[in-house]
């Protein structure tokens, strides 16, 4: 009988320890909950950070953010899924400087995958987690007005700069913030597919990071969070750099420390901060509940980019 009582007491002590840990976590999070109350947080979700398990954690994080007073806006990508569908339909893909050349046939697939598949999956996941999300395309109510992206390439023989036709690849020209404010006032979580609309009604395929940055700037967001598949910006020794100013970020691009696919992300972050966003963050989207680690803990989880 005494042995049974000892087991019961030990179990109660372990339970009490877990409860104390939970209570301590909640109390430690309180200053950050107050800090971000009513603040707009734009989160870009996509690429390799969109596995089924991570998508479930992401949905829970977004719902918790909303319930603690934040106003999350989600912008998603879908490059791997678009590539897979184009391959399935035997539509060839061509990339120039990391950008997918998008002809009319490819653009139809882009819209189908982004707005008809991925967008609905994310919305369904957030709603299943207890939130109230609504799916949008940049073409809805002229949310993202875009124009054709123009690029040039230097001929290695003649050294002449020639224009490159990327097809229906665009870049944001104007964001209509009132569309998003309407949904936020209705207590809804906007989930945006990065498809823009041209002045003549044509659709454009736009990089999701670029759309997220433009939306964050137009909404004067408190944070722009770019989820990626690395832990953040790394120094020459491969160690995480927890914080950068705009000038420091530009220096690291110039000296080659920041390279490859990280360059456009940092450029997006720089442009967002210059347009009025308080700070931008590069986070490893593969880490479970990384949004909560970033927003509700003292040290954060990735690389924070600020004006000063």
| C-beta of residue 301 within 8 angstroms of C-beta of residue 290 | yes
pLDDT at 3: 45
pLDDT in tens, 81-124: 998 999 999 998 888 877 788 999 999 999 999 999 999 999 99
Strand 223-228 versus strand 279-284 pairing type:
parallel
**Which of 210, 223, 211 lies closest to 300, judged by CA?**
223
Q: Kindly indicate the confidence band of residue 8, based on its pLDDT and cuts at 50, 70 and 90.
A: low
Which residues, at least 6 apart from 256, have a Cβ–Cβ distance to it below 8 Å? none
Q: Which of 151, 169, 263 is nearest to 211 (CA)?
A: 169
247 found inside a domain: yes
Domain CATH code at residue 152: 3.40.1160.10
- 12 located within any domain: no
> How does pLDDT run across 201-242, given as a tens digit for each residue?
999 999 999 999 999 999 999 999 999 888 899 999 989 999
| pLDDT over threshold 80, residue 51 | no
Above 80 in pLDDT, residue 69?
yes
Residue 21 lies in a domain: no
Contact 166, 96 (CB under 8 A): yes
pLDDT tens for residues 22-43? 787 788 888 889 999 999 999 9
Give the count of domains, the chain.
1
For residue 106, tell me if it sits in a domain: yes
Report yes or no on 118 lying in a domain.
yes
Is residue 209 domain-resident?
Answer: yes
The boundaries of the domain holding residue 272 are: 37-306
């Amino acid at each position: 009988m005494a042995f049974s009582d000892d087991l019961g007491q030990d179990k109660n002590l372990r339970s009490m320890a877990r409860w104390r840990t939970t209570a301590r976590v909640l109390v430690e999070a309180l200053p950050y909950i107050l800090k971000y109350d009513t603040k707009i947080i734009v989160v870009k979700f996509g690429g390799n950070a969109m596995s089924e398990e991570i998508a479930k954690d992401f949905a829970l994080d977004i719902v918790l953010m909303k319930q603690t007073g934040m106003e999350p806006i989600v912008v998603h990508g879908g490059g791997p899924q678009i590539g897979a569908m184009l391959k399935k339909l035997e539509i060839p893909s061509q990339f120039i400087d990391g950008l997918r050349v998008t002809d009319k046939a490819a653009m139809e697939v882009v819209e189908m995958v982004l707005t008809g598949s991925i967008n609905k999956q994310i919305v369904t996941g957030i709603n299943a987690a207890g939130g109230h999300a609504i799916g949008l395309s940049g073409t809805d109510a002229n949310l993202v007005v875009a124009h054709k992206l123009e690029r040039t390439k230097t001929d290695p023989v003649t050294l002449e700069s020639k224009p490159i036709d990327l097809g229906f690849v665009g870049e944001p020209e104007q964001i209509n913030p009132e569309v998003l404010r309407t949904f936020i006032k209705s207590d809804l979580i906007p989930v945006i597919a990065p498809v823009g609309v041209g002045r003549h009604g044509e659709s454009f395929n736009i990089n999701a990071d670029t759309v997220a940055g433009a939306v964050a700037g137009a909404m004067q967001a408190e944070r722009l969070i770019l989820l990626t598949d690395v832990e953040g910006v790394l120094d020459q020794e491969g160690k995480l750099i927890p914080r950068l100013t705009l000038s420091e970020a530009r220096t690291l691009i110039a000296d080659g420390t920041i390279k490859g696919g990280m360059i456009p992300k940092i450029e997006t972050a720089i442009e967002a901060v210059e347009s009025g966003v308080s700070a931008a963050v590069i986070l490893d989207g593969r880490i479970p509940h990384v949004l909560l680690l970033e927003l509700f803990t003292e040290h954060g989880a990735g690389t924070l980019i600020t004006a000063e």
